[in-house]
Amino acid sequence: MKYVTGDKKLDRRLNAVKGPIARRVMVQGIRAGMAEVREAIRSEVPYPSVRRAIGSRFKKRKGSNNYRAIVGGGVGKRNKRRPSRRGGVGIAKENVHWYLLGTSKRSSRIGDRGAMPPSEAVQRGFNKSAPAAMAAVRKKITQELDKALKKLR
């Protein structure tokens, strides 16, 4: 679990606007950082079907002011699943964990299915994007704070 802590200048500016305005500004900043991380993880994955399965979700928890931000495989909006005419779908949101976490040796009635080695794409993408994500958070927060302070004056 990662926590976002701001620098002192941003903290002072956020304390100037409290309540729903500050919350909205923080939400927009975190979403901007999540987009950076999501794109970096997608850039680390060589397969288009796996790239499509990398997503993000940002939701407020029920009954509290806590938010939950997730970026990774099989995350995002759930679409109604279309029934497949064929047996397999390749790699999709439902089974992207096979690619990301790997599988042990598998077999079926047909025969040996082999094993999939785990991929380090999520960790590499996160590590690669961490400075850019924090910069995007800072930039978006300052933009939205300026906009909110302009409206208040």
**Positions of E strands within the chain:** 54-60, 67-73, 106-107, 112-114
| pLDDT tens string 35-79 | 999 999 999 999 888 898 899 999 888 888 788 889 998 888 776
pTM of the predicted structure, to 2 decimals: 0.80
Look at 132 and 19; give whichever has higher pLDDT.
Answer: 132
Q: How many CB atoms are located within 10 Å of the residue 128 CB?
A: 16
Structure tokens at 1: 């679990």
